[in-house]
Structure 1
C-alpha cells in the first residue's frame, strides 16, 4: 500500500507540474506576453538582422568602402523596463505636417495621436506621425531625440517602428530604437524629430551612434 501510495503521490506531482507548464503556455499565448528569455532573444535576433542588412544589403546606406571595414553595430544593453505600453490619445483636428529633413527638404506626415506613458516614474508623451501613403493604418512613424543625442547616440535622433496593438494602446519599445540612414551616410535626407518629441531625459537603450 505504501508503494502504491507513493506512486500515486508522484503521479499527482508530475500532473501538477505539467498543468502549471501548460497553463503558463496558454497564458503566454492568450496575453502575448513573452518570457524574459524570449524577449532578449527576440531583440538580439532583430539586432543581428539590422547588422546583416547594413553590412550586406544593396539598399544599405553604407558605401562599398564603408562596408569593407564595417564589423558591428553599437547597442546599449537590453533593458525591458524601456518597453512601455502607451495610451493613444487621438488628435481631434488632425493636420498635415511638413517635417524637415537633414538635407533641407521636407516630407509630409499626418499628425495622428499622442502616445502617453510612464517611464521611470515620470509621465511622458510622444507625437505619433503617420506617412501620407501608409497602407496599414496601425503603423506609425516615431522619431525622437533625448539626453543621449549628440553624445552616445546620433545627434539627429533615432526612430522606432511603432504599431498599434489595441483599440487605444500602442507598445513603444525603446530597445528597438535605431539610427536613420543619415547617421551612416550624410548623402541621405532623414526626417528630424518633431519638437514635441525632444525628450529631456536619457533613453540609454537601443542603437548607439555609428562608429565610423
Structure 2
C-alpha cells in the first residue's frame, strides 16, 4: 500500500489496480498456462519499467531490464480444495495506512505432498473484503524476499480463479514480491509465520 494519497498518486494507484485486474483477466482467458504466464511476466515488467506507481525507484529505472523470475515449472501449478477454517484474525500493521485485519477462512488441501504443507486462506476484513494468500518457503530470505510473497490478493486483483474441477488454482509461477521489497515508499502486509511451506518454491519472482 502506498503511504500518501494526493490527487495524482491516487489516480495513478487506481490506474495501476485497473491494469493489474485486466492483466489477470487476460491470463484467466488464456488456455495455455505457460502462454498466460509469459504475458503476465512481460506486462508486469513493462509496468514496473514505466508506470508512475511502479515500486522500482526512479533512480533504478534506467538500468531496470525486467523482473527477475524463475523459469515456468508446471510442477508448481495446483488446483486445491478448500477446507473451512476458523481462527483468530491476523492484524497487519501498515504504519500510516493503519491496520489491515484478515480472518482465516480456509485451509488448502492439495499442496502437502509436493510442498510439505498447506496454506491458510485469509479474508480481508472491511469494505469489499477479498481473499489473501501470502506465503513463505525455503527460498525466503535468500533467492526470494524475506517478507514472503503473494499468490492471491483481492485488493490487487491477483487471482487465477477456479479450474474446470471447481477448485482454486494456485500457480506459484505467478507468486510475486510485495512492493515494499523494492522501496520503503510502500508498506505491505508480510506473510505470517504459520503460512510457511517447508519446500523450496523455485517459481515466481525472485528477490528484487
TM normalised by structure 1 equals 0.71
The 1:75–1:119 alpha-carbon spacing in structure 2 relative to 1, beyond 3 Å, is: farther
Distance in 1, matches of 2:104 and 2:74, equals 28
Verify: 1:156 aligned to 2:154, yes or no: no
Partner of 2:41: 47
Q: CA RMSD in A?
A: 2.8
Q: Which runs of 5+ in 1 are unaligned?
A: 1-31
* Aligned residue among 65, 68, 75 for 1:71: 65
2:196 and 2:171 map into 1 onto residues whose CA distance is 17
> What stretches of structure 2 of length at least 5 have no aligned partner?
1-28, 153-158
SS at match of 2:187: coil
Pick one of 92, 98, 107 that aligns with 2:100.
107
Alignment partners' CA distance in 1, 2:143 and 2:124: 28
1: CA distance between counterparts of 2:150 and 2:42?
17
Task: Determine if contact 1:86/1:170 at 8 Å carries over to the other structure.
Answer: yes
Give the paired residue count. 173
Cα distance in 1 for residues equivalent to 2:160 and 2:173: 15
Structure 2 Cα separation of the partners of residues 121 and 71 of structure 1: 32
In the TM superposition, residue 47 of structure 1 has moved relative to its aligned partner by: 0.4
Larger Rg: 1
